[in-house]
Amino acid sequence: MKHVQEQYKVTDSQLDAATRFVNCTTREVLYVVQSATSADVQYQVRWNRQYRRFACQCKASHNGMNCWHVRSAVASEVLYRENVRALQSAQALFHSSLVNRGSSSLPHLHTTRKDSTHERYAHPLRCPGD
Ligand SMILES: [Zn+2]
């Protein structure tokens, strides 16, 4: 996570200030970033499809500056996707290890091993007490 923070030049507290929201209908991702200077101010950082970049509501961003709100949102999104990918590859690894274990003992029948009620009938080649 440090490398992402260094890349986007955001501190821990800046990263913590960004909260991810997603519209499940449109798949639009929105970050709400807490202002560092005013507790009652939050900026919405949205993905702008036209310009293919995150856009922030704050004055700095409107003046074309790359404000930390956007950097924090981008860094959070990168970390989010890394987590999703790590989770998916962990699940894939877990799944393949299950399949491999099944196929090493029973090459053609491993898919039926999930259902214990089929267990008795699924292994005609296995001898009793095996
Ligand atoms: Zn901003």
Measured in Å, residue 29 CA sits from the centre of ligand 1 at: 16
Radius of gyration of the chain (CA): 24
Check: CB of residue 76 under 8 Å from CB of residue 31: yes
The per-residue pLDDT for 61 is 87
Measured in Å, residue 106 CA sits from the centre of ligand 1 at: 58
Q: Which residues contact 54 (CB under 8 A, 6 or more apart)?
A: 31, 45, 46, 47, 48, 70, 73, 74
Q: In the predicted model, what is the mean pLDDT of the chain?
A: 79
The per-residue pLDDT for 71 is 96
pTM: 0.67
pLDDT value at 118 more than 50: no
- Rounded mean pLDDT of 86-112? 66
Q: Which residues contact 76 (CB under 8 A, 6 or more apart)?
A: 15, 18, 20, 31
Measured in Å, residue 39 CA sits from the centre of ligand 1 at: 15
- Rounded mean pLDDT of 66-95? 91
pLDDT value at 110 more than 50: no
Measured in Å, residue 74 CA sits from the centre of ligand 1 at: 12
* Identity of the amino acid at 18: A
Measured in Å, residue 118 CA sits from the centre of ligand 1 at: 59
Measured in Å, residue 86 CA sits from the centre of ligand 1 at: 29
Q: Between 26 and 57, where is the model more confident? A: 57
Task: Please state the φ and ψ torsions of residue 46, each to the nearest 5 degrees.
Answer: -115, 150
Q: Between 106 and 58, where is the model more confident? A: 58
Beta bridge partners of 53: 48
Measured in Å, residue 10 CA sits from the centre of ligand 1 at: 13
